[in-house]
Amino acid sequence: MPPKSRLGQNFLRDQQAIRRIVAALGDCAGRTVVEIGPGLGAITRELAAKVGRVLALEVDRELASSLSAEFAGNAEGRTTPESNVQIEAVDVLAFDFAAASAAAGQRLIVAGNLPYYITSPILLRLAENAAVLDRAVLMVQREVADRVTAAPGSRDYGLLSVTVQMHGPVEPLFTLPPSAFSPPPKVHSTVFRWRFAPRFEELGVNREEFLRFARQVFALKRKTLANNLRAAGIESTAAVAALSDAGIDLKARAESQSAEALARLWKCLQKAGATSSDEVAPANY
């Protein structure tokens, strides 16, 4: 079966990296690990040996069925009922994490060398399901990991950083060159860990409204927060008053503001009845 580039099929062939990804998950005895995009099963095999149960989600039906044959039986077709690997031929974006967590009776752990063409949608889907997730170790394109893990004021900090980090702390672990994969992608790849611990309650903001606000204030690149607020339909005087109440420089850009500062600003706007429900589409993660 030739790899399908439209499905982001760059298979990891570096055994040490595979071991490091699984080790980075920590103790998974008795735990269910959801693997996103098992592909040829390189990470799946290591997971099967180290964790309680693996639920692997593969959209490519051909790959899913050969993995099912490998893990549910063997080449001769004899079944091994004790297999701790279950392969689901599904699109991860349509997968019901809440139901899987309820069935497992625990918060899920997630692992995966993600298909790069849908990295942001997958990260957003995991964020949406943060309440039923415990932690994740994910491989993504290096530039995406840089954005996910960026600190306020740094070159890579933006909407993706705030959105992901509002759902829990992230840390980069290691980077691999294209030669670690077959076929080699055009980019370097970085593995990062994400511990799900949503911050909305702690910061006193409503999740959906705050995330929409984040999309609004990061909508126009290189523009000030005040300009972005105006573009979202918030009156200039209300925007200026809220910025000063929140202790934020009137010329500041969202790219220099921490999640705490943005939460303060949102609350000041809300107190003044000046939030906006306009979507400044399309959101640029």
Q: Which residues bind ligand SAM (CB under 6 A)?
A: 7-12, 37-40, 42-43, 57-60, 63, 91-93, 113, 115, 118
CB of 42 to ligand SAM, least distance (A): 4
15: tokens are 């055994």
CA distances from 253 to 215, 226, 229 (A): 13, 8, 11
Q: Token pair of 105, please?
A: 């009776």
Query: If you compute the radius of gyration of the chain from its CA atoms, what whole number of angstroms results?
Result: 21
Confirm if 158 and 98 have CB atoms less than 8 A apart: no
Shortest distance, position 189 Cβ to ligand SAM, whole Å: 9
Least Å from the CB of residue 149 to ligand SAM? 20
Residue type, 120: S
Query: Which tokens in the block code for residue 27?
Result: 């103790």
Give the separation between CA 275 and CA 229, rounded to whole angstroms. 9
**Closer of 91 and 279 to ligand SAM (Cβ):** 91
Shortest reach from residue 136's CB to ligand SAM, in Å: 14
Comparing CB distances to ligand SAM, the nearer of 140 and 265 is 140
- CA 252/CA 264 separation, integer angstroms: 14
Closer CB to ligand SAM, 57 or 280, in the complex? 57
Rounded Cα–Cα distance for residues 253 and 221 (Å): 9
Residue 150 — φ and ψ, nearest 5°?
-70, 150
- In whole angstroms, how close is the CB of 9 to ligand SAM at the nearest point? 5
Nearer to ligand SAM, 117 or 221 (CB): 117
Which residue lies nearest ligand SAM, judged by its C-beta? 37
Q: Which is nearer to ligand SAM, 58 or 146 (CB)?
A: 58
Q: For residue 111, give both structure tokens.
A: 């692992």
- Looking at the Cβ atoms of 13 and 223, the one nearer to ligand SAM is 13
Rounded to the nearest whole angstrom, what is the least distance from the CB of residue 183 to ligand SAM in the complex? 11
